[in-house]
Amino acid sequence: MPTLQLSNHPFYSVTEIKRRLGLPFIILIALIILFTDWPFNALLCSFLLLIAGVGYGVLCKSWVGFTLTATHFQQHFYYGGWVVKWNNIRDIGVCSYQQEGWHQPLPWIGIQLKSYSPFLEAICPRVAREMLLSQRALLYLGAKQQEKTIMFEDIVLDSTPYKDEKGHLYTGLMAMLANRMCYQREYYGFDIYIAEADLDRNANEFVGLVRRYLAAAEPER
């Protein structure tokens, strides 16, 4: 399968930003300098530069990207990312919430891993922390579904040391992440979650695409 790069901002790239915004911005600054007097032109230019900088920063922080290759799947944020190999993925699907016997789809995609260790060893602390914070509502909904909301405060940042199948002991932030993955699997059947808002298409289409890459991946040796 060919390497595929996806993003929630398809137009976002340094080259594209320069092409679309760079030249018009330079022309605007030049016109301000030519047709306004000092110090008004300096103040106006400074204000425009500030607005441009803030806008660029907001765009960068909201950007989420994905890379699908023949061997692995990655999610990228401005502060880092995570990666899993296809041979460590057991299943991927759309999360659902059961209420009064009905399953309602949630705006989240879930990935079930075969082993936590490769994921925990590769993820950086900042990404782990952001995952723990951004998915608290999903955890609470799962606890509510299982009628375990009374336990929520105990499990939301459960730092109990986690021992993997090979006997390796994780503590601190990585233990929190591993324990969270265990709770989420109990509630939804998945370990890693991707918000539908971070995608360039709807959740079902994205799951179908990822499953094609998963099916075409080389078997585990």
Give the tens place of pLDDT for each residue, 28-45.
Answer: 777 666 666 667 677 777
Domain that holds residue 53: 4-62
First to last CA, the chain: 19
Q: Dihedrals φ, ψ of 37, to 5°?
A: -95, 155
Same domain for 195 and 104? yes
Q: Dihedrals φ, ψ of 141, to 5°?
A: -65, -40
Task: Please report whether residue 142 resides in a domain.
Answer: yes
Same domain for 124 and 55? no
Task: Please report whether residue 137 resides in a domain.
Answer: yes
Q: Which two tokens stand for residue 115?
A: 């082993």
Same domain for 93 and 194? yes
User: What's residue 27's pLDDT?
Assistant: 72
Most confident of 16-30, 33-47, 105-119, 149-163: 105-119
190 with 184: CB under 8 angstroms?
yes
pLDDT surpasses 60 at 15: no
Place of tokens 């425009």: 48
Same domain for 108 and 53? no
Q: Strand 80-85 relative to strand 89-99: parallel, antiparallel, unpaired?
A: unpaired
Task: Please report whether residue 130 resides in a domain.
Answer: yes
What is the Cα–Cα distance from 187 to 183, expressed in whole angstroms? Answer: 6
Task: Please report whether residue 69 resides in a domain.
Answer: no
Q: Which residues of 2-30 are buried (b: 16+ CB within 10 A; e: fewer)?
A: eeeebbbeeeeeeeeeeeeeeeeeeeebe
How many domains is the chain built from?
A: 2
Query: Last residue of some domain: 47, 62, 77?
Result: 62
Q: What's at 191, amino acid-wise?
A: D
Place of tokens 């016997």: 101
Same domain for 196 and 107? yes
User: What's residue 10's pLDDT?
Assistant: 64
User: What's residue 25's pLDDT?
Assistant: 67
pLDDT surpasses 60 at 11: no
7 with 66: CB under 8 angstroms?
yes
Same domain for 99 and 204? yes
Cβ neighbours of residue 4 under 8 Å, at least 6 residues apart? 66, 67, 68, 69, 209, 213
Compute the chain's Rg from CA coordinates: 22
Task: Please report whether residue 77 resides in a domain.
Answer: no
Mean pLDDT of the chain: 86
Q: Is the pTM of this model over 0.85?
A: no
To which H or E segment does residue 123 belong? none
What is the Cα–Cα distance from 40 to 25, expressed in whole angstroms? Answer: 18
Same domain for 165 and 124? yes
Q: Which of 41-50, 86-95, 99-108, 118-127 is least confident?
A: 41-50
Same domain for 52 and 96? no
Same domain for 108 and 176? yes
> Which residue, 10, 48, 17, is CA-closest to 32?
48
> Of all residues in the chain, what percent carry a pLDDT higher than 90?
57
Task: Please report whether residue 10 resides in a domain.
Answer: yes
